[in-house]
Structure 1
């Protein structure tokens, strides 16, 4: 991956950033990125098969809209107008009938897809309604199914199918697959990766929200080809699917699934790393810098603080611009 020049960034205060993920993890990333720039593209996992999204996907054969809705809500304009429409999109019905637990946003998005006949156009229209500081795109043009090979506690090998089941598994995940195996990427998402200055991968459910992006061939090729610098934001705590995994294990799994991927930096919260030295050594072996920063909320809850995460991401960007501006083109990376 060739290094972009300083001039490639144009206005360094408004870098073009693509954030990959899904669910609450992607929302956390977008809440931080919107404090840095308005040139944001969220590329969202489309494998959800549970809840309102799963029901709409099964009944209508559409992309699951829930994670797309959450990303749009995270980018809404910080005004009464934007917040009102965000709250409307996130509102869920509580009834004894068929609308129970459906969110208004999911129904609105699917209705626009049906009226317009174009997934991206429908999402862009909702984005305009929200005054969104960026764009939200699906990672693939068709609904996907996640399948994982897992190893049980007694050593048996089993297959777990569906994003919901993968996210809830308590067994050790060894390998991940998508069905269809060669899904068509959303063309606009692949183009955004090639045109980006920065790409942010994570936080989020590692196997069911983050890694699936690497299994879509056109997105994977764009991630390898892009001149953008790739930053990985590690999770604050393990979830069901990563129970027992350390910070270093997350990076090892990422490297195993995409060994050709070139990383620029890894951001980790100190309370989430049991051995900073080991993680720093792995980052050095992968050719990237480790930044250990407190990025969780001040109450120490397992939630990313938008201001702190934005500050860490801004440090990555500013340090890189300083590096390429030096006569040697780089300077030593610190922890």
Structure 2
């Protein structure tokens, strides 16, 4: 009976980074999905960036949050893992305990971040798989429409310019590459989910690893993009939902997005705390024709969740749609829309 139950668990690969990824993963856990999270390794801000500067390891912050989201450990243990030291603690200021643990495991026996995360997944009783997109720290590079080029995720976001395209490089000059386990998971998936998350700095850094992007395009799974609710300063200012998809398709040189989840519920005027969430600018505009012209099925609904004067995706609502779609072949692409 158990084997039959597992056999019918949809295999869902979620690719991204940032704060939106754990929200989707937590919801998928409740639905008994077979989850693989492919997590960006190009983050160079905050605690992750500081650790990366001092220790030659992949930045651990996004990986830490994903591990916590999928962990079956008691709440107290997860709270300890996620605990961030106070700014008054000069030596550990701003560091999360989990980041330090991941860095330590990576350094032990020179095993690398991929094996370290697999070991930690067992310790934390992770329900699913957590795969760093690369075993080596990568640098995100951006070319802007004014012809300038900047390297570094934090620097790119702070530049305040219009991004034309992005790519990733490794410090040792080797070709950025994902482990075979990442490629195999993508090719074996029933569904591939992108987002929600920063378009240029959370989603595309994964797809710009050549064998990851190729696997996503080759996979028979439906590719679902969860479009952001708000535009992002320094990245997607004044973007429509169709603009987000257009950028993704242009980077992989084909229309590979099958379905887009779009929020159509208006954000109440003056609700957003502009000081706390200063990277958010305007609500993403809805362009149904632009999406359909790119061969996308559009699922539009109220995916909005308002909390603490912030604007988020309603994880449960998003996951309900993902589970309804899970396992459908690409053959029905663009034949229907909601």
- Distance, in Å, in 2 between the alignment partners of 1:331 and 1:161 is 37
- Distance, in Å, in 2 between the alignment partners of 1:228 and 1:330 is 11
Q: Secondary structure of the equivalent of 2:164?
A: strand
- Distance, in Å, in 2 between the alignment partners of 1:258 and 1:28 is 26
Q: What residue number does 1:305 align with?
A: 314
Q: Which has the higher helix share?
A: 1
Q: Which has the higher strand share?
A: 2
- Distance, in Å, in 1 between the alignment partners of 2:131 and 2:253 is 25
Q: What residue number does 1:5 align with?
A: none
Provide Cα deviations, 1:227-251, integer angstroms capped at 9, x if missing partner: 2111110011112221221212111
Are 2:267 and 1:264 aligned?
A: no
Are 2:97 and 1:104 aligned?
A: yes
Q: What residue number does 1:187 align with?
A: 180
Q: What residue number does 2:304 align with?
A: 296
Deviation, 1:45, is 0.6
Q: What residue number does 2:269 align with?
A: none
Are 2:231 and 1:205 aligned?
A: no
Q: What residue number does 1:286 align with?
A: 294
Q: Is the 8 A contact 2:40 2:62 kept in 1?
A: yes
Q: What residue number does 1:113 align with?
A: 106
Q: What residue number does 2:285 align with?
A: 274
Q: How many residues were matched structurally?
A: 310
Provide Cα deviations, 1:133-155, integer angstroms capped at 9, x if missing partner: 2111111121111111224xxxx
Deviation, 1:41, is 0.8
**TM-score between the two structures when normalised by the length of structure 1:** 0.85
Deviation, 1:119, is 2.5
Q: What are structure 2's unaligned runs of at least 5 residues? A: 266-282
**TM-score between the two structures when normalised by the length of structure 2:** 0.84
Equivalent position to 1:123, from 117, 120, 126 = 117
Structure 1 window deviating more from structure 2 (35-44 vs 123-132): it is 123-132
Q: What are structure 1's unaligned runs of at least 5 residues? A: 1-8
Deviation, 1:105, is 0.1
Q: Secondary structure of the equivalent of 2:299?
A: strand
Q: Is the 8 A contact 1:16 1:37 kept in 2?
A: no
Deviation, 1:159, is 1.9
| Root mean square deviation, CA, Å | 2.5
Provide Cα deviations, 1:11-31, integer angstroms capped at 9, x if missing partner: 44x101110001102122212
